[in-house]
Amino acid sequence: MNSWYQRNKNQWWALPAILPLFLLPFAAWCNTFTILDDGRTVIYYLPHALFMALMLIFDWAALPGIALAIIIRYFPEYGIAYTLNVILLMMVPLVLCWFGYRIFVWRRYRVIFGSLSLTFSRCLWLVLIYSSTSLVWYQLSVFLGFLDGYYSLNGAEPLNIRTLINFQSLMVGTISGMPLCYFIIRAIRNPSFCRIFWLRLKKQFHPHVNFPEILTWFFLTGLLVALMVSKPGPSSTIFNTSYTFTLLLPLMLWAAMRFGYLFITTIWGVSLIVLCRYFNHYVPDGENFALQLAITSSCWMVFSFTIALMAAMTTRQRAVFSRVRQLALIDPVFQLHNLRALTRDTSHYARSLLCFIRIPELEILGRNYGLLFRIHYKQHLGMYLRQSLRENENLYNLSGHDLVLRLNNSDDDEQRLAQLNEGIQQFRFLWDGMVFQPQTGISYCIALPPVNHLPLLLGELSTMAELSLTTQRVEGLWDNQFNPLQEDMRKKVKIMHTLQEALEHDHFRLLVQPIQGGRGDTWYEVLLRMSGPGGKMITPDVFIPVACEFGLSSRLDFWVLEHSLAFIQRHKDCHRGIRLSINLSPASVCHNGLVREVSQQLTRFGVEPWQLVLEVTETDELSNVEQARQNLAGLQSLGCSVAIDDFGSGYASYARLKKMNADILKIDGSFIRNILTSSLDYQIVESICQLARVKRMQIVAEYIENEAICEAVKQIGVDYLQGYYIGRPEPIEKLFANDSQQQISAVEPA
C-alpha cells in the first residue's frame, strides 16, 4: 500500500485533487476584508498563494484539484453559472502566470524557497504579474456582468485608493503566504519534509546566533504584535496606532540577517495573517480611514518585499561564505582535507592522536606513471582508511607523498594503531591492469591544543615515519629510545639556520691544500670551512650533508666558485700559473645552468678555463645522470678540467668510469693509507692506475702521510700526490703571503 501511494501520490487524481478541498477553506478563513465606500476591500487574500504553492509542487496536475475545490465551495450557495465564472476568474491568471514562469525558469522551478536565483523570477511572475493580472481580470469580469458589482476590486473609479489597497493586499497575501502554504503542502505530502525543513532552517542561522538572542527576538516581536492586536481602551497610546507597525521592520530585518530565509518567511507569514485580521485595532478609524489603510497596506507590501529580498541575499551570502570556508579546507586536486583543516581540528578537539603516513615510493611511481597516479592512489587509500574511522576523525593530505590521520585519543590507541598498520600494509592499488603496494612508514604522537608549531611537529613525525620504513613497525614520537633521533633532527635544523646566515653574510673561510706533481708542477684543492657561533670553525662533514638535505649545496658550490676565481684574479699578475680545484655537489653537477654559470664567472674575473679544476664525486645521489654527463662535457669544452674524486668508494666503479669522460682520477685515500701493509689495496691501486692510463687520465693519490707511501705510489705511476706529507690545508690568504713579505723587504732601505 505504501509503495502504491508513493508511486501515485502526485497523480492529478490523488493529492493534487484532495489537498485543495481541505486547504481552500483554511485559506478563505485567513482572508480579511473590510467595507470602503461602495464595496468590499481586500486586506489580506491567501487563496492566490495557496493555488500558486500547489502549482509549484504538483505543476499542471494541480489544476483539476483547484477547479474541483472552487466548485465545491461556490456551487451549493451561488449555482453553476456563478461558479463557472469564479473558476475562469481564478484559473486564467493562474495559468498565464505559471506558463510565463515556466518559460523563464525551466530547470529546478519547484525547489524550496530561499534560492536567490529564483527569488526575482518568483517575485515577478508569481507575485507582481499574478496579482496585476488577477486584478484586471476580476474587474473585467464585473464589467462584463459575470460578477456582482459589489465584489468589484476597483470601485466606481479604477484609479482610487480602494484599487491601490486591493492591489497591494493581493501582492502581500501572495508573497507572504506562498512560502507558508508551500511548507504546509510539502509537510502533508511527505511528513519527513518537516525534519528536512528544520535542518535547513537551522543551517541558515548565523554561526554566532545563540539561544538568548533568539529568545530576546521572540519576546520583542511578540510584545509588539500583542500591543498592536490588543483592543484599544479609552485612552489610546502610540502603540495602538499604525506607527507601531513600522517598529516591526528592524526586528524582522534582524531576523532576516541572523536567522535566515526559511525562519523569517514562516514567522512573517503567520504574523501578517494575525496583524491583518486585527487591523482595525491599530489603524485609526475616522475621516482618513481609507488613507491610513492604504498607507498601512503599502507598509505591508514594502516590508514583505524588503524582508524576503534581504533574507534571500543574506542567507545566500552566508551560504557562499560557508562554502568558501569549506573549500579552503579541501585540497582542490586530491579532494582531501588539507593542512589548514588539520590545524583547525587539532585546536578544536581536546586530545588528538596524529598518525603520519609516509609513502616515499609514491614519488618515483608518480614520475613514471604521471601525477594522476599519485592523485588516484591517495584518493583510494583515503576511501580505504575512512572505513575504519570513527566520528569526528579525518584524513588530511600533505604535499608530496604524505598523509595524516587525526584520531580521537582513547584507551585502545595501541590496538587501533596496530590495526591501522596492518590495514595499510594489506592495501593494494590497481592501476592500468597492474597491482601496486608501495612501502609505507607510520609514526604517531598525541597532540594537545593549542598546537602552535604544527609544521615542526609534522617534520618530526616525518622523520619517525622514515625510521618506520626500516623497522617495519609504527614508531611513536616520544618513545625514549628515539630521543637521540629527535635531537639529531633539531641539530640539523640549527645547522641549517647557521648555514643560511653564513651564506647571507659570507661567514665562510677558504683553505687550500697542495697537490704536487712528479714534474714539479703544483695546484691546490680548495676546502671550505664555516664560522659558527663564537667564531668556532665547523668542518664540512658537519654542514655539507645538511646543505645537501635542505637544498643549499648548489649555493655553497657557487659561493666557493666565485671566491676562488676572485682569488685567482687578485694574484694572476704575479702568479699566472696558479690553478685551483673546487668540489661540486651532486645537485650542482645536475644543475641545468652549471655550464653557463661557470662560463659567466670565468669571463667576469678574467680567469682562463685551464686554471679551474672541477672535482665530482660519482654517487647514487645524481638525480639526472644524463644531465650530469652533458654538464661535464660542457665544462671540458670550455677548457676546464674534470676530476673524479674518491674513486673506488661508493658508486665510483669501473663500469661507471668506463662510461664517463674525465681528465683526472683521484684515488680514494682508504686504498692509499694501507698500501704498504695490504697487498689487496696495492693491487687495487695498481689496477686503477692501469685503467686510468688507458683512458689517458692523470692520477692523483690522496692521503700521502709519509715518505714510504709517497715512494710506493710513485713506483706505481701516480702523477700527483696529496696529503699531510705534501702539505697541510692552510687559509687561502696565506698561500702567497711569503711573496708579499719578500716584496716589502726588497723595497725597504738597507
**The predicted structure's pLDDT at residue 449:** 86
Are the CB atoms for 158 and 132 separated by under 8 Å? no
Q: What is the mean pLDDT of residues 702-710?
A: 91
Confidence check: pLDDT of 460 > 90: no
Express the helix, strand and coil content of the chain in percent, nearest 5 each: 60, 15, 25
Q: Where are the alpha helices (DSSP H) in 105-152?
A: 116-121, 130-143
Look up the CATH superfamily of 492-738. Answer: EAL domain (3.20.20.450)
Q: What is the mean pLDDT of the chain?
A: 87
Buried b (16+ CB within 10 A) or exposed e, 685-696: beebbebbeeee
Of the candidates 276, 53, 352, which has an alpha carbon nearest to the alpha carbon of residue 184?
Answer: 53
CATH entry 3.30.70.270 includes domain 339-478: yes
Report the run of H or E that residue 517 belongs to, with start and end. Answer: strand 508-517
**The predicted structure's pLDDT at residue 275:** 93
**The predicted structure's pLDDT at residue 655:** 67
**The predicted structure's pLDDT at residue 508:** 92
What's the pTM?
0.64
pLDDT digits (tens, 9 = 90+) for 471-481: 888 888 776 45
**The predicted structure's pLDDT at residue 730:** 93
String of DSSP letters for 665-728? EEE-HHHHTTTTT-HHHHHHHHHHHHHHHHTT-EEEE----SHHHHHHHHHHT-SEE-STTT--
Of the candidates 496, 474, 596, which has an alpha carbon nearest to the alpha carbon of residue 546?
Answer: 496
Confidence check: pLDDT of 554 > 50: yes
pLDDT digits (tens, 9 = 90+) for 629-667: 899 999 999 999 999 988 877 555 666 666 678 899 999
Confidence check: pLDDT of 749 > 70: no
**The predicted structure's pLDDT at residue 745:** 40
**The predicted structure's pLDDT at residue 268:** 95
Neighbours of 426 (CB within 10 A): 9
Confidence check: pLDDT of 744 > 60: no
**What gap in Å lies between CA 553 and CA 241, rounded to an integer?**
84
Q: What is the mean pLDDT of residues 280-284?
A: 84
Split at pLDDT 50, 70, 90, the class of 105 is confident
**The predicted structure's pLDDT at residue 367:** 82
Give all strands of the β-sheet with 394-397 in edge-to-edge order.
394-397, 402-408, 352-358, 441-447, 475-476
Are the CB atoms for 725 and 702 separated by under 8 Å? no
Q: pLDDT over 70 for what percent of the chain?
A: 91
**The predicted structure's pLDDT at residue 621:** 54
**The predicted structure's pLDDT at residue 452:** 79
φ/ψ bin of 535: left (φ > 0), alpha (ψ from -120 to 50), beta (otherwise): left
**The predicted structure's pLDDT at residue 91:** 93
Confidence check: pLDDT of 428 > 50: yes
What are the backbone angles phi and psi of residue 199, rounded to the nearest 5°?
Answer: -65, -40
**The predicted structure's pLDDT at residue 595:** 93
Question: Which position has the higher pLDDT, 443 or 36?
Answer: 443
**The predicted structure's pLDDT at residue 582:** 94
Buried b (16+ CB within 10 A) or exposed e, 281-316: ebbbeeeeebebbbbbbebbbebbbebbbbbbebbb
pLDDT digits (tens, 9 = 90+) for 195-242: 999 999 999 999 999 999 999 999 999 999 988 888 876 666 666 666
Domain boundaries, the chain: 10-324, 339-478, 492-738
**The predicted structure's pLDDT at residue 653:** 61
Are the CB atoms for 504 and 479 separated by under 8 Å? no
Q: pLDDT over 90 for what percent of the chain?
A: 48
3-state SS, one letter per residue, for 265-282: HHHHHHHHHHHHHCHHHC
**The predicted structure's pLDDT at residue 392:** 87
Grid coordinates 715518505 are at which residue?
Answer: 707
Split at pLDDT 50, 70, 90, the class of 363 is confident
**The predicted structure's pLDDT at residue 484:** 60
pLDDT digits (tens, 9 = 90+) for 16-68: 999 999 999 999 999 999 988 767 889 999 999 999 999 999 999 999 999 99
φ/ψ bin of 723: left (φ > 0), alpha (ψ from -120 to 50), beta (otherwise): left
Are the CB atoms for 55 and 110 separated by under 8 Å? no
